[in-house]
């Protein structure tokens, strides 16, 4: 395929977007505009913004859900053809989308994602309660004795601070073993984190399909089933470091290590209950 033929095809796609906008200006039918412009938008996203299919799909769904916002911005200015404005808007919106993904807060204590946003619309009673709960649990975790805090953090894949790393190195008393373990620990953490992100993205896509609605009840029931299955998997907290590995590192048997973890979790659960009870009394 020659460069000229590629340019002709791209120009034809731009013309489709312009025609779609012309019809939109007559009918104000945003759904029709998006359905017509979708191939052009998806082609641009996959070729110029993101090669990852999952992220590209999530971003397209994000743009689709907020397409009215795009149209409002364009009609407020109309300083360029709609196809040109669309590409600039997609670039800027994609950067914001990626930034939001990076700023998502994972609480390793529960394995569930909680996005702590400062926007007024998101500052609901539940979000504020979640923020208080997480901050209080992290404070309480830092107060636990090192001998039970460190195994708990390593079991659930929570980041270790310098004091904890120093304690670990002195406990193992072998620099090479410590380095090898920390490398393995990092890889396992990344694997669990990637799995959680994939599950959350899947749940978001399924939620979009459910909210969108469909006359095919069989398909809709299937989406509900898959979403419930995904949520149940998210609730299951997978250990990053096994009890066997921890017992070898700290030189105690598995049952003693399990008791240490239970002791730490009981302390955190007690604190969590106190915080949430006091929060409910305030509101």
Per-residue pLDDT tens digits for 30-42: 888 888 888 888 8
**Which of 69, 102, 135 is at the close of a domain?**
102
pLDDT band at 124 (very low <50, low <70, confident <90, very high): very low
Average pLDDT over the chain, rounded to whole? 75
pLDDT value, residue 129: 46
Residue 107, beta-bridge partner list? 112
Domain tally, the chain: 2
pLDDT band at 1 (very low <50, low <70, confident <90, very high): very low
Quick one: 46 and 97 in the same domain? yes
* Mean pLDDT, rounded, for 201-222: 76
Of 129, 143, 120, 161, nearest to 267 (Cα)?
143
pTM, full prediction: 0.46
Of 58-67, 85-94, 212-221, 265-274, minimum mean pLDDT range: 212-221
Query: Does the structure show a pLDDT above 50 at 215?
Result: yes
> Which residue range is the domain that position 73 belongs to?
3-102
Cα–Cα distances in angstroms (integers) from residue 213 to residues 33, 54, 207, 220, in the given order:
19, 21, 10, 8
pLDDT band at 136 (very low <50, low <70, confident <90, very high): low
pLDDT tens readout for residues 176-195: 777 888 888 888 888 888 88
pLDDT value, residue 103: 57
Quick one: 163 and 72 in the same domain? no
**Which of 102, 133, 158 is at the close of a domain?**
102
**Which of 65, 87, 102 is at the close of a domain?**
102
């Amino acid at each position: 395929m020659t460069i000229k033929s590629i340019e002709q095809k791209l120009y034809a796609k731009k013309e489709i977007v312009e025609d779609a906008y012309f019809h939109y200006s007559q009918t104000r039918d945003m759904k029709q505009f998006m359905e017509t412009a979708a191939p052009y938008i998806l082609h641009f996203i996959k070729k110029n913004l993101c090669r990852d299919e999952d992220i590209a799909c999530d971003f397209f769904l994000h743009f689709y859900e907020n397409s009215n916002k795009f149209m409002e911005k364009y009609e407020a200015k109309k300083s360029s053809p709609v196809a040109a404005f669309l590409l600039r808007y997609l670039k800027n919106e994609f950067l914001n989308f990626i930034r939001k993904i990076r700023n998502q807060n994972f609480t390793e204590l529960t394995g569930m994602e909680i996005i702590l946003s400062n926007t007024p619309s998101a500052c609901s009673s539940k979000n504020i309660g979640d923020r208080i709960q997480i901050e209080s649990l992290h404070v309480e975790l830092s107060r636990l004795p090192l001998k039970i805090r460190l195994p708990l953090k390593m079991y659930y894949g929570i980041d270790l601070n310098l004091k904890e790393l120093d304690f670990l190195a002195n406990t193992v008393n072998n620099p090479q073993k410590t380095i090898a373990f920390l490398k393995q620990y990092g890889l396992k953490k990344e694997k669990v984190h990637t799995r959680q992100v994939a599950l959350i993205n899947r749940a978001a896509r399924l939620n979009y399909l459910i909210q969108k609605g469909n006359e095919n009840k069989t398909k809709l029931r299937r989406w509900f089933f898959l979403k419930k299955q995904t949520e149940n998997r998210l609730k299951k907290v997978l250990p990053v470091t096994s009890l066997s590995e921890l017992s070898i590192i700290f030189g105690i048997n598995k049952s003693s290590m399990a008791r240490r973890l239970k002791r730490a979790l009981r302390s955190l659960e007690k604190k969590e209950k106190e915080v949430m009870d006091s929060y409910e009394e305030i509101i």
